[in-house]
Every structure is written in structure tokens, then in C-alpha cells.
Structure 1
Amino acid sequence: MKDNWQEQLQNLLNCDLKTLYPLARSLNRKLEFYVGPTNSGKTYNAMQDLKKANSGLYLAPLRLLALEGYEDLKESNIDASLVTGEEQILNEDASHICSTIEMIDFDLDIDIAVIDEVQMLEDNDRGWAWVNAIIGVPAKKVIMTGSVNALEAVKKIASYLSEDLQVIRHKRKTPLVVLDKFTSLDKLEDGTALIAFSRSDVLKLKQKLQKKYSVSVIYGNLSPEVRRDEARRFREKKSQILIATDAISMGLNLPIKTILFTTDTKFDGVSKRKISVNEIVQIAGRAGRFGLFEAGYLGATRRDVLSYISKEFESPIKTIKPPFKVKINNNQLEALSSHIETKSLTKILKFFAENMVFQGPFIASNISSMLEASKIIDTKINLSLEEKYLLAQAPITTKSTIILQAFDSYIATIIKKKVNHYKPSITLPKKAITQKDLLLVEDEVKKISLYLWLSYKFPELFPDNEKAYILRNYFNSFIEKSLKGVLIDEKRFEDKPKFKTERTKKQDRTSEKIRDRNQKSNKKRF
């Protein structure tokens, strides 16, 4: 009996990924890779092919890109639907779907699928989604777009699948010129984008430069709607200068003439390090948009940064190498839970990463955000393993108190099967004054995104999606207005919050009760 159990476990721990997608295997798919640098027209050409198809699917790395693809198809009079984790616009007559890559439907047979930014398969937390899409998207023709560093990776996966691959190379449409001298912040030309690598540095630069220039900002913590509005202001020349993190490396078409790096180091979540040639090339490629400029320019605001950028820019791009990371799926989760006799999601995820073996150039991997969420979820009782797995994939950040408190409340809702109506955690003033003020509102928008994500998974328990959309627009509008104003250095205002969270409001109510009680006591005394 024990030998049989061991044999079953060993069979479970050996997986051939391509067998998990029988519909894709039945279609005799043709693979094409539109490879080239930024500003080479590869995604444009892929979208043109998609428009000609009787049915099609666009898989985007960002909600913002999925929305732009959806709007592009509609402008071409093609019926389309939009499907993201927190937003679904469904058209019964749609022949095409634009979706974030995690939301792919592996049971939908289509003519052409476009998988955008395929070099993302190297990403530690999201690379699994590109691996699954390349292997499993059920399309007769699969068009991948991406940079040259992903070429060998795509070839290896195609070889594993025994599917034909055609590589279609694209060349950059405008030259990219490295400047000889660093550029002073006092002498910036219109159409310049300054690159920093943290939200704090972006806002500090904005604070400094907006005395002389009109400025737009883009960084990762901003919602897609606000990023889009800031990009629109820059595109329409309502702002002269753009200050951004590497969030601009994907998903926004911007009229940038010159990219200037303000630093050559970034914190990558683990340590502070020098930026790589791949990162420099991806960001720098945004300069010199075809049709607007004859060339793009790359430089820096400091002599030492320019020296590093210039040298690194000339070095070879680093090729993405196997193994490629694979995330646990529902069936593997349930089977492993049964075999190792545990309902602890954390234990199952760790067992999967340590013991699972895949045929082909793949490796079992855990997503750091899922592991962090699983530790929270495993402390809750009366959740099924399926519910735990679903919740572990929710869009949360453990760095935000607002989101952690909301997540705890939402888990309780699912356990108790009690309806949860959306309630904001903060009350807005007229505008944000400090960076901390702004961060609270940004986190509130993320909390709304979490609620909307859950409203599609548990619509009966989280029914306020329309209210949440309205509030998201309201908070986004507040952020947009605040970014156009002056944010004062928060160190001068650390003890003076400009608006209140639910916790501070409760503290105020308690203080008022104590004050009232003391006043009544004093009246009795005298």
C-alpha cells in the first residue's frame, strides 16, 4: 500500500506541461515571434494582423495596455470585449477579446492570439503567466512580441512543444543617440523624461522642478487611470517634462525626445544594485518616437551616471536563460494536499517548489506575494483550500496597513458568507499636502481594486462594484489634482496628518467621549 502511495506521489511530482492544454495541442498551432527593440512597430504590426482575423485575443501585461488594445479594436469597428482582474466589458457579438495575460481563457478556440511583451516570462512574480500562455493559448496562430533577449527562450519553448516557429525581425525606426555630456536640471528641453527608481525620488524631483517647468509624473503605485492622465498631459504638451520610474518601460506611447537617467542604481525588492543593460535599453527605447522625432537621445543628469549608462548601453543584452518558472495549478494543489495530508496552503506551496519536476526547460516556483498572502490566509479557519488558493492570488501588498485591514475584513466576509458593502478607509481633504497624504489615497485606490477583483470572484458577497468604480474615479481625480499642485516635504508635517483614516477617526471619537465625560463630571463637581 505504501509503495503504491509513493508511486502515485512520484507520478504527481513529474509533470509534462504541454499535456495540461489539450485544446491547444489539437490545433496544430503556428508560432510567430515579432522580435525587435522598442519603437520598431512590432506590436503595431501584430495588432494589424489581429484585426484581420475572424476571431482574436490580445494578451497584455498591464490593464492599461489591455484597455488601449480594446479601444484600438473598437476604433477599427471591430466588436470586442475587455477582461481584466477587476473590470469586464462584455459584448455578446464580440469576435475579439483584450485581456490581461493572467485572465486568459484556455477553453476559447480562436484564430489568432497576440502575446505582448514576451520577455516578461523572466519576471520572478509573473513570468509563469507568459509560460502558460505560450504553451496553452488555443489559437491557430500565436504571435508573440518582445525584445531580442527573449529569442532563445522562445526557441527553446517552441522546440519543447514541437511547433513551427517563424521569427520576424523588426528594426528600430529612429536612431537612438547617446549624449556626450550630462544635462543640468536647469537646462531641460521640452519633451524630456527624467528617470528615477522610486516614488519618493520622483516626487522630490517634481517638487524641485515644477518651480521652473510644468511637470507630469508616472510611477508604479499610481493607478492605470492616473498614469494615463499624466501621460495625456505630457502628450498634449500641457506639461514640458515627464518624471518617471521604469513604469514607463511598458504600456505607454509617449512623445519623448530625450531620456535622462538621474541615477544608475535601484532597489529591486531585495537589495540596491546597479541597473542592467536590459533595463537601460528597454527604458531608453522610449525616446525618439517614430513620426514625431528624427532621433531619440539618451543621457543623464550627472557625469558619473552618464559614464555608467554610456558604457553599459554598448554592452551586449543579456539573454533570458532557462529554466522558466511555473506556478502551481488547482489540480496539483488538491492532489498534493491529499498526498501530504495538509490543508496549509503555505506548506503545499513550499512542497511544490521543493519537489515538483517538469519535463522541458521549466522549474517549479512560488510567487513571493502568494507566499506572503498564504501566511495570512492560513491563520483563518473555515476556508476551503480552493478559497485559500484564490485569495492568495488577490492583488494585495503587505506594506499597506489600509490594504491589510481590508483584506482581513474581506476574508471574514467570505468565511461568514455575509455581504460586504464597500466603505472608504479615509476622508479626503481638498488636496494632498505631503507625500504621506498622497500615499494614503493611492492605497485607497488599490483597496478599491482589491474589492473589484473580489466582486468578480464572489459577486453575491461583494455587490458594490458600481459604487467602487465611482469612488475609484473620485479618488483618482483627487490624485490627479494633487499631482498638479505642490507637495510639501512631509518631514515638516510628520505630526500633522491632513486627513484621517478609520483608525484616527475612532481615536478622535474616543477622545470626544472622554472629553464629554470629563465636562459632565466637572459640572457635577461645581
Structure 2
Amino acid sequence: MNVTHRAGDVWVRKMDVLTVSERVSDPMISQEALREMLDVVLEERWREMADSPHTVMEEVRADLADAGTFLSSGQIERLSHSIAQAFGGVDMGFEDDLIVAEERRAREQEEIRQRAEERRAREMERLKEWEAHLVDFNAVPAILRCSRREALRWIAENRLPVAKRETNAEGLETFFFDPSELKKCRPLVNAWRKGLSGQAEHEDDNSLKSRRGNAAIARVAALDRFAAHFRTARSLKRRITLVTGPTNSGKSHTALQALAEAESGVALAPLRLLAHEFREAMLSNGVAASLTTGEERIIDPTARHLAATVEMCPFNKPVDVAIIDEAQMLSDPDRGAAWTAAIMGVPARHVFILGAADCIPLVKRIAELCNDPVDEIHLERKSPLKPGGSLALEELRAGDALIAFSRREVLDLRAELMTHNRRVAVIYGALSPEVRRAEAARFNRGDADILVATDAIGMGLNLSIRRVIFSTLRKYDGRQTRSLTTQEIKQIGGRAGRFGKHEEGLVCVLDGAGSPNFIRQMLNAPPEPIKELRPLVQPDSDIVQAVAQEVDTQSLYGVLTRIKRAVLRPDDPNYRLADMEQALEIAAALEGVEELDLPTRWTYAMCPINTRDNGIPRLVEWASIHAKGRAIYPPGTGRLPASATASREELERAEKRHRRLVAWRWLAMRFPKAYPDLELAERNATILDEWIEQVLRTQSRMRENTRRQQGRNSAPWEKKKRRSPAPGKKKPFKKGKRS
């Protein structure tokens, strides 16, 4: 491995070297002979990966890019030679074709990057020029030829187009105006003085432009009147029933019953896995239902019910009943805006909103903004939830769930438990919903004794857990490492003591990981007060296009920058702008891709990607291929070794490939011509799901069998550990064999 990495052959993996070592029979073998054997193993790997050298090159390059590794021209040449050798095509020009194709791709990506930088700079310059020519209120009376009092009144009446608002440290707000827009308002001043609307018959072309300009600005500023954006919902007489309660209180039962009895309805879930469960619940009640998620659709033409993820809420088709689950997600900085839109916009006559008690103030605020009446139902937990003290790792028993907050910690704890002969199931965010469900089923059946999981178990899985044990009471939330909140302790700990399976649920902490008193305090604490009652909002495609029309640009980066700076002021009394940093970052990178219209760019900016594994550069590359009218075919599965021997590195690589397929399938649902062969993508995703599940299941079973063979004479793990004698006391001597 050291020799190959010093040579820069970063595509050589540990498994390749182990395969070579298994074939070595000569203890005095030379480095040259080892290298020849490695070349043979690599060629076998390339042939297993795909049917063509170009596809192999793409897969290898994508895997390396996921890990943050990018190839130099010399590395591309050596890798091309190896792949061409595998397909017997060195003399047929495969190697030259691969090198030329990679050089062309690298050149195109560099051109895109340079264009993006130039256009971003140009947009920022336009924005600065626009802001530089704005004037404050003091200039308005002179431009309109009116008094200060008249100008103030017309601002209060929303007649004057405010271009930008700023709030200083003392909380005082300053308005800025575009002089050219103010001049367009001059013909309307006399009508405004008479209290008229300003739409007199004698309006000239300038006044028409003014009204159109004001209408465009109204559309641009629609984020501060977000509820009005959902016209179908506002046209209905909606009634909201807010059902709150802790985990395991049966919140969904009443709502699902009302949904099944309704002639039409929609159930909105936070996860694809939960959307499937909603659909299955309706089907089990004899109700035909379709399914829509970001990457999957199951359409029943006879169905009048739909299960969907929150982001896929249908806003234009009225129904009788809607369910929106996990409403405490309203406070989530990444996805909260989707819950705001769903609650405000779902066109249902009766809306059931389900969630923890923490969501009550926010839901009521949204209902107030929508003028919808709210009924409240609060449910209590069906089985008691109690603090359970601290436990050592070896004291964990069947039915326990051990909670960590990163993939690495989950796999480390899994490995440690397996050395103690535990059968372990795992659940963490990088696993697909299908694998999570399979691991949950394995735990519920008793095929795994202990579940090791992240807070991914907090939503959407029915788990027969007796005790929840936190391996730490602190977590990194993407911004900082902090103590767990009351809601997190209750949401995750509440998975313990499932009604009908266990009489009570216990919430514990691992020895040395924190104080049991902290758990007790959090379980007994009231819901944490929500400091910010303004719901999160974000623009949609219509708003983006309206802003683009107003500022006269087709640059998505320019539009999003303007929205962030000017459309919704920071101290707006009703709404706050959601975090748009990832969308802005994607938009900035897409600036260099030509021939994509604004709605298409916006769709790409909304694609679910992970920025930590090369998500944005890959998205830009796909977009550039799309813009040229060429097809982007599904990512492959790569070479999947035997599940029994797969390393943690290979498991992580498979998870990243699956995420690549998730993004591809999401785009294929929106651009089927550019992203053909969805069936192949779904097959590849299924293969990866099954392999990952096989790795997790097989390795646990193999470790268990090995431990049993090694320790047939040792006491089973369920028995208590033998205690060492107290200091100063001798261990009693007993004759005969130990029974």
C-alpha cells in the first residue's frame, strides 16, 4: 500500500493488496513480481465494475472524488493504461480515448469554473451599482414633488416601492428607494392626494409601467405575505386539529382513522420511509393510495388518497383531510420552511397536524397568519418513561438501544459490542430507508440483541426497545458541539417502552458519558420555550422567476443574492428567511453552465446532495451534460466484495454510491429525458441496499459464531460478570472443575 500510494496510485485499495497477498506463495518474491500481481488484480476489478472502460473510469473517478481525491494528468494516464489493459484494448486505442476524454472533461470543468467566477463577479458588481444609486427617505419628497408627510403616508399605504430595508443596532429601520421607480410614480401623485387608487383613465404609458413595476415588486415581496401565496388553500374554509403528545402516545391513530374515512386525503411525512408507512396503513384499511416522494412515485389512477414527503405537498388539488406529521420540524433550520409551506398551503378542509408539544406556539402562529381556527388535542404517553441510571457497556441486554451521534461512533460501538458476543443491528443517517427498515425488523424479531443507532431512530421507525442508553449527552449539530436539548432526550428516549411490548421505558446513560441526573431533569422538564415564533420561509420557483423579471437577470445567483439581501427584511414581524446557503452555493457553481434556463437552475439548486462528498462539482458536471442535450446515465454500484470480508471503508463507499443514486433519481423524476433509465437506477439502488444490509447482518452473525467457538466453556453474556475479590482479600479456593 505504501509503495502504490507513494507512486500516486490512489485507486489501489486495501482489499486489492489483501487479494494479492493471498496469492503469494514465494516468501522471497520481488517488488516487481508483486506489482505484476497487483496489476492482474486491478484488471480483474475493472472488468467486474462495468462493461466498458469509459464507465469504469467514470466510476473510479467518482469514488475518488467522493473522498476528496482528484487525479493529475499523470495519474489519469496510468489509470487509463490499467483500465485499457483490463479490456484488452491498449492496441485498439482505448487508452488514448480514455486520456483524451478525461482531458476534455477536465478542460470543460475548468472553463465552467472560470465562467462562474466571472459571472458571479459581474452579478455582484450589478448589485453594488444598484445599491449605490438608491436614495434614502430624505430624497423622496423632491423626486415626487410632495411633502414629507405625504411621502410617509404613501409608504405606510404601500404605494411607494421600497427597494431595500436596513435595521441599525438601535432597531431603527431605514428605507431605500430606486429613483427611477419613484419617478414612474409621479403621474399617480394627484390621484393619491384625492384618496383614489391611482388608476385614473388619463394614465399614460409611464403610469402603466409604474403599476406593472409595483405589481412586480409586490410579487417579489410576497415572502412577507407568504400565506397569501397559497391561493387554493386560502380559498377553502380550513379547520386545523393540532394533536400533540410525546413519543408512543398514539398521535397518528385518530388522524389516520379520519383520513381513511374521508373521500379524499393526503398524508405528509418527514421521511420516505414514513410516507411508505402511511400508504401501507391506508392500504390495510382498504383505501387505495398513491405515493410521491422526491425520488419515487407509485401512482394508482383510481386512488383519491396520497402519501408523500412534506416537500412534495400538492398545493393545487383540494382534498377533505390532510395529515402533517412531526410538526416540531418547523424549527429545523434546514427543513423547517417545508413544514411552513405544507401547513400554510395544503388544500384540505380538515388538517391534522401531529407533533411534540414544543410545536404548539408555532402552529398556532401559522394558523393565525392563515386565519384558520385551531382545535387542540393533547395525548399522554401510553406507558411510563423513567430515568434508568448509568450502565456499563457489558451490562447491555437484549432489547436495548445504544445511541451515538455519528456514523463512526455507531460503527465503533457495534464493533466493541460484537467482541462481547452481542448480535448488533445498526441505524444511522447514511443508510437508505430500506436498510434502516431491514435493520429495525432484525432487531424487533430478536435476530439482533442490541440496536446501535444515531438520532435517526427519533422519527419513523416502530422499534421494540426496552431501554434507551445514550453513549454521550452532547452532539455536534453541524454548527457547534452542544448538550442535548429536552426535546431530543424526550424524542429519542421516548422510543423506549413500546406500548404492548414493555410495561415501562427506561432512559439511561453509558458509564462515564454523563450524569443520570441530567437525563432525569430533561425528562421532567417542560417543553423548552420557543424563542423565535416567526415561521421559516423560502422562495419557490414562481417567486424566483418574479424576482428575476424585476431585476432583469437570468442569473440564479443574482436572484438569490437579491432575495437574501432585500426581499424579506431581518426584522419582518411575521416571517424569517430560511438558510439558503447551500442553494446559493450550488447557484454560484452553476453560473458557468450555459444553456440552462432559470427554472432548471432552481431545480438543480434544490437537489438533495451532500456537500461533503463532492456533491456540488458532480451536480455541476451533470448539469453541463444536460445543457448540451446529452444523457446522464445512472451511477453504477461499483465492485462489491463479499459481504463477509467487506471493510468499513468499502461500506462507506457503498453508502456514498447510494447517495449518488438518490440525487440522480431525484433529478430523473424532474428531467426524465436528460436522466434516462430510471429502472436501472432503481435496480442499482436495490443492489446496494441489499449488499449493505448483508454486510451488517453477515458480519454480526460471523463474529457471533467465532466468539461461540472460542468461548464454548465461558459463561453466556447474559450472566453477570464475576466480581474480583475486594482489595486485601484472597480469592477462595475450590476443588474440582467449575460446573
Structure 1 match to 2:390: 182
Q: 1:150 to 1:185 in 2, by over 3 A?
A: same
Structure 1 match to 2:683: 470
- Please say if 1:362 is aligned against 2:571: no
Alignment of structure 1 residues 101-500 onto 2, 5 Å: 101-179=310-388, 181-211=389-419, 212-303=421-512, 304-320=514-530, 321-357=532-568, 361-401=574-614, 403-404=615-616, 406-424=618-636, 426-431=638-643, 433-486=646-699
> Deviation of residue 305 (structure 1)?
4.1
Of structures 1 and 2, the larger Rg is shown by 2
Q: State the alpha-carbon separation in 2 of the partners of residues 452 and 305 from structure 1.
A: 45
Choose between structure 1 and 2: higher helix proportion. 2
Deviation per CA, 1:117-143, whole angstroms, max 9, x where unpaired?
Answer: 111111111111111111111111000
Q: State the alpha-carbon separation in 2 of the partners of residues 455 and 433 from structure 1.
A: 31
Q: State the alpha-carbon separation in 2 of the partners of residues 148 and 163 from structure 1.
A: 19
Alignment of structure 1 residues 53-92 onto 2, 5 Å: 53-92=262-301
**Unaligned stretches of 5+ in structure 1?**
488-526
Q: Which amino acid aligns with 1:461?
A: A
Q: 1:423 to 1:130 in 2, by over 3 A?
A: closer
8 Å contact from structure 1 (residues 234, 240) kept in 2: yes
> Deviation of residue 368 (structure 1)?
3.4
Q: State the alpha-carbon separation in 2 of the partners of residues 243 and 258 from structure 1.
A: 12
Q: State the alpha-carbon separation in 1 of the partners of residues 639 and 670 from structure 2.
A: 28
Q: State the alpha-carbon separation in 2 of the partners of residues 367 and 314 from structure 1.
A: 36
8 Å contact from structure 2 (residues 274, 460) kept in 1: yes
Q: State the alpha-carbon separation in 2 of the partners of residues 313 and 335 from structure 1.
A: 48
> Deviation of residue 382 (structure 1)?
2.1
Larger mean Cα displacement after TM superposition, 291-300 or 310-319: 310-319
8 Å contact from structure 2 (residues 334, 578) kept in 1: no
Larger mean Cα displacement after TM superposition, 103-112 or 306-315: 306-315
Structure 2 match to 1:511: none
Three-state SS of the structure 1 residue aligned to 2:376 is: strand
> Deviation of residue 184 (structure 1)?
0.9
> Deviation of residue 322 (structure 1)?
1.5
CA RMSD between the two structures: 1.9
8 Å contact from structure 2 (residues 637, 687) kept in 1: no
Q: 1:396 to 1:422 in 2, by over 3 A?
A: same
Structure 1 match to 2:135: none
Q: 1:416 to 1:37 in 2, by over 3 A?
A: same
Deviation per CA, 1:234-260, whole angstroms, max 9, x where unpaired?
Answer: 111110100000000000010011000
Q: State the alpha-carbon separation in 1 of the partners of residues 448 and 362 from structure 2.
A: 40
Three-state SS of the structure 1 residue aligned to 2:611 is: coil
Q: Which amino acid aligns with 1:81?
A: S
Q: State the alpha-carbon separation in 1 of the partners of residues 255 and 581 from structure 2.
A: 33
> Deviation of residue 158 (structure 1)?
1.3
> Deviation of residue 372 (structure 1)?
2.9
TM-score when scaled to structure 1?
0.88
Three-state SS of the structure 2 residue aligned to 1:317 is: coil
Q: 1:423 to 1:19 in 2, by over 3 A?
A: closer
Q: State the alpha-carbon separation in 1 of the partners of residues 601 and 674 from structure 2.
A: 16
Q: Which amino acid aligns with 1:83?
A: T
Q: State the alpha-carbon separation in 1 of the partners of residues 247 and 297 from structure 2.
A: 29
> Deviation of residue 285 (structure 1)?
0.9
Q: State the alpha-carbon separation in 1 of the partners of residues 632 and 246 from structure 2.
A: 46
Deviation per CA, 1:34-88, whole angstroms, max 9, x where unpaired?
Answer: 1111110011221111111111100000000001111111122211101001110
8 Å contact from structure 1 (residues 65, 251) kept in 2: yes
Q: Which amino acid aligns with 2:281?
A: D
Three-state SS of the structure 1 residue aligned to 2:437 is: helix
Q: State the alpha-carbon separation in 2 of the partners of residues 277 and 9 from structure 1.
A: 45
> Deviation of residue 231 (structure 1)?
0.5
> Deviation of residue 9 (structure 1)?
6.5
Three-state SS of the structure 1 residue aligned to 2:393 is: coil
Q: How many residues align?
A: 485
**Unaligned stretches of 5+ in structure 2?**
1-179, 185-209, 701-739
Q: State the alpha-carbon separation in 1 of the partners of residues 306 and 394 from structure 2.
A: 46
Q: State the alpha-carbon separation in 2 of the partners of residues 332 and 456 from structure 1.
A: 22
Three-state SS of the structure 2 residue aligned to 1:371 is: helix
Three-state SS of the structure 2 residue aligned to 1:420 is: coil
Q: State the alpha-carbon separation in 1 of the partners of residues 675 and 321 from structure 2.
A: 35
The percentage of counterpart residues that share the same residue type is: 35
Q: State the alpha-carbon separation in 2 of the partners of residues 17 and 485 from structure 1.
A: 51
8 Å contact from structure 1 (residues 80, 95) kept in 2: yes
Q: State the alpha-carbon separation in 1 of the partners of residues 490 and 557 from structure 2.
A: 38
TM-score when scaled to structure 2?
0.63
Three-state SS of the structure 2 residue aligned to 1:366 is: coil
Q: 1:19 to 1:423 in 2, by over 3 A?
A: closer
Structure 2 match to 1:501: none
Q: 1:395 to 1:91 in 2, by over 3 A?
A: same
8 Å contact from structure 2 (residues 635, 657) kept in 1: no
